[in-house]
Structure 1
């Protein structure tokens, strides 16, 4: 699984804590982490939470990533921005129980976490425990198990609702503020990580044009 990590600008100083906690859990499971920034508070490309939504939409819809791990101060802004994009089903995860239940019941493709609110002593242990509850077990099997079929049916209904209420991602990219889009994809490692992994040539070509403009 390709997991994309995205850190919002106000929490960039915690990049190392989040990145290390994620890799310590998923590397032994054979997953790959692609870090799309921010890396330090001094990065030239400052990612706001609306930009995180755009990035998440690009990465999931192009199949450059299978799962998004992101967050901001409360986790709320990034969660809202991700869920505004087609094909993104993002859960707000604060503790390991949230992570487990989101994975078992909702089986989405993104999580947003609070990296300021409640982020105190031993916060890295909470991050690791959340990632374990999410990635070490099979997702989507239901909880409680006897309601698994109903939960799977509801996920399908929600997916169809999303399709009906959202435009396709390329249309979204062409419709949004192009300066906002260009800033969102201007991170120092975006091109090296995205273009080799993207499976949507039309979207890749469009983004290359945006970057060259």
Structure 2
């Protein structure tokens, strides 16, 4: 699995902590982590939480990533921004129970986390435990297990609803504020990570033309 990490500007100073916690858990599982920034508070690519959603939409809809880990001060802004995009189902994950239940019940493809609120002593241990519960088991098995079929049906209903409430990603990119989009994809490693992994030629071509 290709896991993308996207960190918003107000929490960029914690970027290394978040990245290290994620990679320490998922790399032994065989997953790849691609850190799209921010890396430090001084980065030229200054990502706001709306940009987190836009960038996550680009990554997931192009196939450049299979899963996105993002967040902001409370996690709520990034969650809302991600869920505004087509084909993204993003949950707010605060603790390992949230991570487990989101994976087993909702089987989404993105999470948003609070990197300021409640981020105190041993916060990196909570991050590791969340990532462990999120990725250690096949998603969508259900909890409780006997309700797995009902949950699978509901996920399908929600996916169908999203198809009629959202434009396709390329249409969104064409109609979005172009300066906002340019900033969202201006991270120093975006081109290095995105273009070799993207599976959508139209999205790739449009972004290259920017």
TM-score normalised to structure 1 length: 0.98
Match of 1:55 in 2: 55
* Cα distance per residue 1:140-162 (max 9 Å; x no partner): 00000110000000000000000
**1:199 and 2:196 aligned:** no
**Distance (whole Å) between structure 2 residues aligned to residue 201 and residue 148 of structure 1:** 36
TM-score normalised to structure 2 length: 1.00
Match of 1:68 in 2: 68
**Distance (whole Å) between structure 1 residues aligned to residue 184 and residue 58 of structure 2:** 10
Match of 2:40 in 1: 40
* Cα distance per residue 1:118-149 (max 9 Å; x no partner): 00000000000000000011110000011000
Displacement over 6 Å in runs of 4+: none
User: Unaligned 5+ residue runs, structure 1?
Assistant: none
The 3-state SS of whatever aligns with 2:140 is coil
Residue 31 of structure 1 deviates from its aligned partner by 0.2
**1:91 and 2:91 aligned:** yes
Match of 1:182 in 2: 182
CA RMSD of aligned residues (A): 0.3
Match of 2:16 in 1: 16
User: Unaligned 5+ residue runs, structure 2?
Assistant: none
**Distance (whole Å) between structure 2 residues aligned to residue 189 and residue 167 of structure 1:** 28
The 3-state SS of whatever aligns with 2:7 is coil
The 3-state SS of whatever aligns with 1:34 is strand
